[in-house]
Amino acid sequence: RSDILDPALMRPGRFDRQVEVTLPNIDERTAVYKVHLKKIKLNAEKTRSEYAKKLATLTPGFSGADIANVCNEGAIIAARNDLKSVGLRNFEEATERVIGGIEKKSMMTQEERKRVAYHEAGHAVAGWFLENSDPLLKITIIPRSKGSLGFAQYLPSEASLYNKEQLLDMIKTALGGRISEEIFYDSVTTGASDDISKVTRIANGLVQTYGMTENLGLVGYGSMGGEESFQKPYSDETNWEIDEEVRKIVRE
């Protein structure tokens, strides 16, 4: 790992060739699944190749370690239910566990569960009517150990490039839960905090990184010292214009 090596070791003549290991694409995930599924007794409903291809489709963005975790969790879930083999449903439950954590017993009231259901349904409805939104796979209101009271699982495309319309539809889908709460309730809750953080990152990228706004043009306004730096390579007036443009995108 180049990030933990002493800079002296990285001088020319030492480690000249560096290999970057990126997250696998769908074909690479299929190959990794085939390796980890060899040690598992699978249900006869599908062949090993069919299981691998199906699971690779359901787990975009997963690393090799995540894939191994899904296979192990699927086997554990099947064993706990006294099953003789591991089926697709077990792997789906394992995927949810890897994404959201272990199911957690919650003291949520019936009214709180209803509000969470409206929130998650808001994401689904918004995404259904947006041309560039990712396909929705599943919605759950089961609390998880990673802190979520519910989440919507999508199948995002593995494209390297996004246009402005796609990014704007991401913002609309993310805000669908908050808007749903505003429509059906007189008040809103803290449940949309993660959505708002995601929306802010996308809107800032549109304005400061990708040059996709007319008012500010094709100029990158990132910090000179990186994300953690407080030094800005632009004036206070430009900073105010950036803030206004970000708020404008979110409002619209």
Catalytic residues, which ones? 120
The encoded tokens of residue 142 equal 């089961």
Name every residue whose Cβ is closer than 8 Å to that of residue 191 and which is 6 or more positions away in sequence.
115, 116, 119, 149, 177, 181
Mapped onto helix, strand or coil, the DSSP state of residue 175 is: helix
211 Rama sector, left if φ>0, alpha if ψ -120 to 50, beta otherwise: left
Which candidate, 180, 171, 161, places its Cα nearest to that of 130? 171
Mapped onto helix, strand or coil, the DSSP state of residue 103 is: strand
> Rounded CA gap, 15 and 29, in Å?
29
Name every residue whose Cβ is closer than 8 Å to that of residue 100 and which is 6 or more positions away in sequence.
140, 144, 145, 146, 148, 151
Q: Give buried/exposed letters for 59-88 (b at 16+ CB in 10 A, else e).
A: bbebebebbebbbebbbebbeeeeeeebbb
CA–centroid distance for 150 within its chain? 14
Mapped onto helix, strand or coil, the DSSP state of residue 33 is: helix
Q: Within 10 Å of residue 133's Cβ, how many Cβ atoms?
A: 20
> Rounded CA gap, 62 and 161, in Å?
19
